[in-house]
Structure 1
């Protein structure tokens, strides 16, 4: 082999090594952003899927994906264990005794979840007390719905008085249609697609729960407020119910730059998120920073300071 040939072989080998090394580095630097949401028909899932697409498209070296879960409580646990980077969660699930869950911080307040108590249009159930002895779905295990409903029944002195079913939204809808339950609870942003379909199907009513918001605030947390379910949501008479803020949470260990970028995309692309579900139309700067008592991630706080008028 001549000296010139030897040099060409060595150069080719070096180029190949650099290519392989570079590919390996790119693969190693790809970040995972797993977004814990809810069931495939839930608001969380629709907005989370749209957000994952935005992150995948606009953050180089980042692989975003969606995890279908039982919702808030499961999402909080996944983020706390490092099995998801981002999760949607009701703020009442994140707060116990007035203190936020350790290790978790917020990127934004996204919208408010409204607690729906759904019955058939011809049901004799007119208020919470009417559930005594009835077959009632209180939400899927691991959902924020079960937390809120458990507290609601407790302050109303009704713990243990219903025939409890632990069903997610889809199973609750099917069970009500089949006459297998008398009522179901679901906490979600307006409008909840499955409930909207049900309203045009078998015919339903949403029961007023607003009188219990004050009791929940006194017993548990001041995150509980009263909100109206307007006629525009389900083409039903307006009704007041209990609402709780919904937050996008991450680990306090998330790198600041990543938290900044996720918050930036959440706000800059909120029109795209609203196209995925109308609940995201409520996402705006002034409300987004209202996450207390759950603190903002420093990266999220830096973004909000950068765009403050």
Structure 2
């Protein structure tokens, strides 16, 4: 496994990858699920999903990969090194079109479910004096881990706010959310960008730190310009006050949907089994992390998915009564 991922084995593993991210050896299937950093939401949700699949499909051994996030996940999917990914829709659209980090290497990605909303969070503390996006100029910031969709969204937001990511910051790091929180605590960083479901553990940790006053930077005013340039995958939302310790005001921010995705050539029968188990465990999944409460029938929309449905997923959701259009 390359340096951008680290496998966390949740069940016994055996065999060599043959089908798209799926191995078969002595009647056992191995499915690798690419998630994200340990301080985000993809990782706990992916871990729970791996457990559900390992228990629910005879001979299945599902594992999770710790990665930089959506871009890395889709690159692994394109290389046939994982069989399933959690990803933001904007990164999936870039992947299927062969844009940006996928230039010349389009990925045959297909959605199997729409999960929950990912929210851009621009995080700082009161002692930095940062209150607006413009205040980030000359500061030390982190724009997210390499290979993350945070980095994609951060660059687009920075551009829309009239800042230059190469010249306008005193320093620009590429840290995970947990690393960013620790760097702010240590006085080595002023602010960071992180896209995730809410609440997320790294920001909760920062807000709960004694002597620290958490500040979340509003940026919803830049959404129209970003949509005009990059398409209608983004939308404005509000993170309510009190979502995080010390968060005294609502945070007006930019959001994007998350999907679970596979390659187009994953066998239809396996996709159907996976969805049956996901859907059947949805209440337990929401207890793992509150973001999964938004995994519902109403959310299964083609526009929200961003990329084409796997044919088996389309059939599954229609049979459940979803209106995909």
* TM-score when normalising by structure 1: 0.88
Distance between the aligned counterparts of 1:304 and 1:181, measured in 2?
Answer: 45
The change in CA–CA distance for 1:298 and 1:241 in structure 2 (over 3 A counts) is: same
State how 1:24-39 maps to structure 2 within 5 Å.
Answer: 27-39=25-37
Contact 1:47 1:277 in 2 (8 A): yes
Distance between the aligned counterparts of 2:94 and 2:141, measured in 1?
Answer: 25
State how 1:165-244 maps to structure 2 within 5 Å.
Answer: 165-201=173-209, 202-235=212-245, 236=247, 237-244=249-256
1:164 to 172, 180, 197: 172
Contact 2:145 2:151 in 1 (8 A): yes
Distance between the aligned counterparts of 1:98 and 1:213, measured in 2?
Answer: 23
Distance between the aligned counterparts of 1:262 and 1:295, measured in 2?
Answer: 18
2:308 counterpart of 1:295: yes
1:114-165 deviation line (CA, Å, top 9, x unaligned): 0110111233211111111110000010011001111112233312212211
Which of structure 1's runs of 4+ aligned residues deviate more than 4 A?
97-101
State how 1:40-59 maps to structure 2 within 5 Å.
Answer: 40-59=38-57
Moved more, 113-122 or 155-164: 155-164
Give the number of the structure whose residues are more often helix, by fraction.
Answer: 1
Distance between the aligned counterparts of 1:89 and 1:168, measured in 2?
Answer: 16
State how 1:64-83 maps to structure 2 within 5 Å.
Answer: 64-83=62-81
2:276 counterpart of 1:267: no
The structure with the largest alpha-carbon Rg is 1
1:2-53 deviation line (CA, Å, top 9, x unaligned): xxxxxxxxxxxxxxxxxxxxxxxx8433222111001222100000000000
Distance between the aligned counterparts of 2:69 and 2:96, measured in 1?
Answer: 21
Distance between the aligned counterparts of 1:219 and 1:76, measured in 2?
Answer: 22
Distance between the aligned counterparts of 1:58 and 1:110, measured in 2?
Answer: 20
Q: CA RMSD in A?
A: 1.8
Gapped regions of structure 2 (runs ≥ 5): 1-23, 99-105
Contact 1:98 1:293 in 2 (8 A): no
* TM-score when normalising by structure 2: 0.83
Gapped regions of structure 1 (runs ≥ 5): 1-25
Contact 1:35 1:67 in 2 (8 A): yes
Contact 2:218 2:252 in 1 (8 A): yes
